[in-house]
Amino acid sequence: MPKTVVSVKFVPSNGTGYLRDINDEIPIAGRFVLPPDIPSTNIAAIVTAAGGELSTENVPCSDTQGGTPRRLVFIRASGNTVSVPISARNDLISAATTIRGILQTTGNEVVCIKLEGEFFPYLNDELGVSYANTFAASHKPPGTDPKQHFWSGTISYGSDGTNPAGGTVFVPIKAISNNSNAPATKFSTIWANCVGNFVDILACPTGGKRVREHRRFLVTTRTKLDPVSATETAQSELNEVPVNDYAGADILTCGQAIAVLNGVYCVGYRGESYSRFHKLLP
Amino acid sequence: MVLAFYSYITDTGKIYNFLPVFISQINPELSTLYTGQELLEDLLPSNLIDINLPCGVSGLIQRSLIVRFNDASIFRIGYSNLFSQLLADQLIADPRVDLFTFSGEIIQYSRLKKLLT
């Protein structure tokens, strides 16, 4: 029996827009493969649970080529997977519960559900990046200091993967820095708002496995060891800035603050991923 | 390292920085003389940069020169500045260039609505 490829669209003007983590609603297309044992009569119910609508044509003005939407990945006992794009973060558990129920109607149990975060590599226009030939301080250690520093600890984090969504968990982070006891100088003004202070608490042990990948901005900057040097050759550096707040408006505010930092010329975003999402379902 | 435009100005006036330069040969006659880059380096000497982390922009297809060189090779070469009479004069005067076409930029609506707002 052939697999069925289901095309899904999210269209704001139809009330089925895709709500990005940065709090804007966009048109986007997606698709998923329905295993052969699932009757095609169930397709509409899965798509509705995902917040989208069935698509037989291209989405007008789609953002599809600009990124990929978040997905819930259902892994079944038979080994096959169904990866469904989901329109919003605030009701992931309800969507997962509904879709899991549909996928189990044939007796093939869903044994695991993973949340895969959205990825948009280029958000310059949305966030207001306007590079003005400035340079940031490099994250490399200054002078003759041979040791690369890291700013690491545990943050209090509003997670997509909690029940209800937005619950606080403690997440370990490790950020490259030119300072031995502070975040990288180039992010010093936004760090408190985007990431927050470290909390005096140990993150839960996970046996070395990262089950939760926090949301983050991917920030590319032009840097120099001395940002005002007229003779030093500039470098490009890519850094991740974790975002601790769950609320879309706060994520956007963080991104906008990053966008106007000296040296920043490219900003992307990757949403939270959580490999144990099935544990949250009733 | 990737060859990029230090700044690329769109037809709407918006500037994107560190956009990777698009160059491709579009006919099967393999050129032993040209790569397309050397022409660009003459036309835009101060606007090209080798960078390890360029910044690609989805929904924007950069304007380009389609150039037939004197060895019969034909290249499509991205161009960061607005087309002009001056550019045409430079290409006409260039002994390496037999023919050329200006091919316009495409900004898809998904990008346009973002850069306009």
State whether residue A58 sits within 8 Å of chain B by CB: no
- Given the structure tokens 């330069």, which residue do they identify? B21
The pLDDT, as a whole number, for residue B37 is: 95
Q: How far is residue A181's CA from residue B103's CA, in Å, rounded to a whole number?
A: 53
Q: In chain A, what residues touch B55 (CB-CB under 8 Å)?
A: 122, 124, 220, 265-266
Q: What is the pTM of this model?
A: 0.91
Contact between A261 and A221 (Cβ < 8 Å): yes
Residue A154: pLDDT over 80: yes
The pLDDT, as a whole number, for residue A249 is: 97
Q: How far is residue B24's CA from residue B27's CA, in Å, rounded to a whole number?
A: 9
Residues of chain B falling short of pLDDT 70: 117
The pLDDT, as a whole number, for residue A1 is: 62
The pLDDT, as a whole number, for residue A212 is: 92
| Helix, strand, coil share (%) of chain B residues, nearest 5 | 20, 35, 45
Residue A72: pLDDT over 90: yes
State whether residue A25 sits within 8 Å of chain B by CB: no
Q: In chain A, what residues touch B16 (CB-CB under 8 Å)?
A: 124
State whether residue A235 sits within 8 Å of chain B by CB: yes
State whether residue B115 sits within 8 Å of chain A by CB: yes
Reported confidence tier of residue A146, pLDDT bands at 50, 70, 90: confident
Q: Where are the domains of chain B?
A: 2-116
Verify whether the Cβ–Cβ distance A61 to B114 is below 8 Å. Answer: no
Residue B63 in tokens: 């304007």
Reported confidence tier of residue A106, pLDDT bands at 50, 70, 90: confident
A·B CB contacts under 8 A: 48
Nearest Cα residue in chain B from A63: B110
Partners of residue A29 on adjacent β-strands: A9
CA distances from B12 to A98, A232, B78, B80, B82 (A): 46, 34, 17, 13, 10
pLDDT tens for A75-85 read: 999 889 999 99
Q: In chain A, what residues touch B110 (CB-CB under 8 Å)?
A: 27, 61-63, 65-66
Mean pLDDT of the A193-204 span: 88
pLDDT tens for A243-275 read: 999 999 999 999 999 999 999 999 999 999 999
H or E, element range at B22: none
Q: How far is residue A51's CA from residue A18's CA, in Å, rounded to a whole number?
A: 8
Percent of chain A with pLDDT over 70: 97
Residue A61: pLDDT over 70: no
Q: Where are the domains of chain A?
A: 4-119, 124-272
Verify whether the Cβ–Cβ distance A61 to B16 is below 8 Å. Answer: no
Nearest Cα of chain A lies from the Cα of B24 at a distance, in angstroms, of 21
Q: Where in A20-61 does DSSP place strands (E)? A: 25-26, 28-34, 53-54
